[in-house]
Amino acid sequence: MVSLISNPSRSSDEIELIPNEVSQLLDISPDPSILVSNTDLEILAANASMAELTGYTRKELLSLHLDTLLPKLFSIIQDPTLNLELHSIQGRELDLITRRKQKITTLVQAKTLGKSKRFKVFRLNTLGTINRRNNSTEQEFSQLDGILALSQIFYQTSLDQALEIIIQVGKNMLTAESWGIYKIDSNHPQLTAVILDNPSGFLPTTISTADFFSHYKDSQFSPPYKPPLSPLMERAAQMGSSFVISSPLDDANSISGLVVAMGPSDSVPPEKQAALAAMKLLVAATEGVFNNFILNSNLSDRLTKTALKKAIGDTINKYIPEGILYLNPELLIQQVNPSAEQILGYAEQEVINRHIDDVIIGTDRLTPALQEALENIPTHDLGQLEIHHRDGSEFPALIKTFPVTKPDSEDIQGILIFVQDISKEEKVRIQTQQLERRALVGQMNAIFAHEIRNPINNISSGVQLLDKILPEDFKQRDVLKGINDDCDRLTHIVDTVLTFSKSQSYHKNSIDLPALIGQILNRWVPRMKRTSVTHVLKIDPDLPHVLGDDRALGQVFNNLISNAVRAMEETNGGVLSIRLKSIKKVTGAMGVQVDVLDTGPGIPPEVQEHIFEPFFTTKPDGTGLGLSITKQIITMHEGTISLVPLPEGTSFQIILPGANEEEPRV
């Protein structure tokens, strides 16, 4: 500051102003102010507001001439039509030239000091400041509207919608043209714009982390006439932006991003403190939105995972074949799944809050396992138990018990009981044992049949030899005939046993089944005529061929026709019906269904389930292997045979796979 030294020899009217006191007086005024010498128009003192407005330091201002800041001032004074003097400049609009050569329209007021009129104080107000003062009430209402609009950000369904509201409110509050919200990129050393409203291209899409931590860790406000202190301020100066304001985003006490606003080139900067306060509000709203959506996203993920876990649990609970019962620590049933309802015979509503001992009855091994579960000890296998169904029937079961603890603790919340009905498995096990025994018996039968065939042949040969050498009037010749017939019958039984016991090798070809059955029927026609048996053969059109061994399948149908004809001989005749039709299996493959029906006496209900068992027969002279061999052959052909109950007579249904020919049989 220029020194103004007091001279004690001068009169009181001529005492010069003390510079420090002048500076303090000027600082009292909130308006940009300077002290100017009337004689040479040099600037003698300036307050802080003037330094901020012009971009010069106080020291730099003291070296300037008045026309450097207000070049048009003297052209106005020198205009003879205006008849103005320097001290009469009151409320005149003049352009102020800043340190960066920018023009700011100001309203200038001049005041002469002292009787000698050697000094003058110039006070400058920017039009933006005057307008803000005049429109303070309107701005307050605008800010209230902005705050009300910000209250809607937490009701938006997407983050972008919420940020758009913040940007629009911020642009209105700060009269900004460009607005950007940046977040630190975890994959790159930079800040990346999350959202930009950047019509004039003032804002960059990325900011380096080096610049961020060097310049933007604190809130900043810079009008265009201040020296640029950061890359964003430099960019604003280059592009003619009227101001730039920035503030960092905090996330859990760590800096996570940046909010930046830039003004247009043709506007006046907002008041600094008001702008920083507005930015603080907008930053808090932005942080709240980010945190809210992060929480919502995490909550949504948790809810999705929880819903998925529940869906998986519900699906397992619903479709698992094991029965599941959930007990509370008092051993009262709280929930059962559908399989438990089916296994035990109780509906869920019937057993809720009933003690487990009232539902699982028949074993004393469950109680110790439940006590261990209450001590957080699971029991994975209680062994095979015999428990009772609701109707009183007993069935074998496997039972497991597991404790259910509360999350993050060892406190017992309940007990899960798994009940598996193994009656089917037990039945299969028994059947497997029976099949194994039958296989062993079959092997023994084969050995036995081979061993006795030679003695039978020797006996038969000896009887035939005796029949030839004995006289024709031998009275016991009928005995020899009986022995020979018994040998033939034994030979037939041995051959049948061997056929049943040994595994057959089949040569499968495409077979015209109607033709095969027709040939067999023709062989039986003479006998059917003698016994008053008629036959009917029905064949559906487009019947496919079947894949099989013609010799083996011929034995099947010959056996069924033989059984039917012999059964109807007992009732003095009847009708044999054979129908062939094409079917489509569940797999989509074609097949042939053969129904063999007779009007004979039928098969008693009590023996129907045993007819395919080996050596089971109701005929005095039967071997009990005919239908067993028939079923064995059909099974080896990947087909099925079943007895269809009828009120009168007998019906067998056979299904054989088709030969998968491209064209049906014509």
Q: CA quadruple 473, 479, 485, 488: dihedral positive or negative?
A: negative
How many whole angstroms separate alpha carbon 587 and alpha carbon 662?
17
Give the end-to-end CA distance of the chain in Å, rounded to a whole number. Answer: 123
pLDDT of residue 12: 46
pLDDT score, position 414: 92
Residue type, 402: F
Whole-number pLDDT of residue 418: 93
Mean pLDDT rounded to a whole number for the chain: 80
pLDDT band at 353 (very low <50, low <70, confident <90, very high): very high
CA 505 from chain centre, in angstroms, equals 53
pLDDT of residue 78: 65
Beta strand segments in 185-303, E:
190-197, 206-208, 220-222, 244-251, 254-262
Of 404-418, 443-457, 530-544, the poorest mean pLDDT is in: 443-457
Q: pLDDT tens digits, residue range 102-147? A: 888 888 888 877 667 778 888 888 765 555 454 455 555 566 677 7
Q: How far apart are CA 461 and CA 483, in angstroms?
A: 11
Pick the more confident residue, 29 or 616.
29
User: Residue 259 above 90 pLDDT?
Assistant: yes
- Give 388-436 pLDDT, tens digit per residue: 888 888 899 999 999 999 877 778 999 999 999 988 887 788 777 776 7
pLDDT per position as a tens digit, 53-89: 888 888 888 888 888 898 888 777 666 554 445 545 6
Q: What does the alpha-carbon distance between residue 644 and residue 651 come to, in Å, rounded to a whole number?
A: 5
| pLDDT level of residue 271 (50, 70, 90 thresholds) | confident
Q: Are 35 and 1 in contact (CB under 8 A)?
A: no
Strands 650-657 and 220-222: unpaired
pLDDT of residue 621: 55
Containing 139, the helix (H) or strand (E) segment is helix 136-150
Percent of the chain at pLDDT exceeding 70: 83
Lowest mean pLDDT among 125-134, 259-268, 523-532: 125-134
Q: pLDDT tens digits, residue range 30-57? A: 788 888 887 788 888 888 888 888 888 8
CB 601 within 8 A of CB 564: no
* Strand 119-126, strand 33-37: pairing: antiparallel
Give the pLDDT of residue 327. Answer: 93
Angle at 60 between CA 57 and CA 66, to 5 degrees: 110
**pLDDT for position 87:** 47
Cβ pair 431, 407 in contact under 8 A: no
* The token pair that represents 615 in the structure block: 């050596």
- Residue with more model confidence, 195 or 492: 195
What is the rounded average pLDDT of the residues 327-332?
93
When pLDDT is cut at 50, 70 and 90, the band that residue 662 belongs to is very low
Nearest to 356 by CA among 365, 410, 393: 365
The yes-or-no verdict on residue 584 having pLDDT over 90 is no
The region of weakest confidence among 68-82, 175-189, 274-288 is 68-82
HEC per residue, 297-350:
HHHHHHHHHHHHHHHHHHHHHHHCCCEEEEECCCCEEEEECHHHHHHHCCCHHH
CA dist list (Å): 517 to 535, 626, 627: 12, 18, 18
Q: What are phi and psi of 210, to 5 degrees?
A: -65, -45
pLDDT at res. 16: 53
Say how far apart CA 323 and CA 360 lie, in whole Å: 12
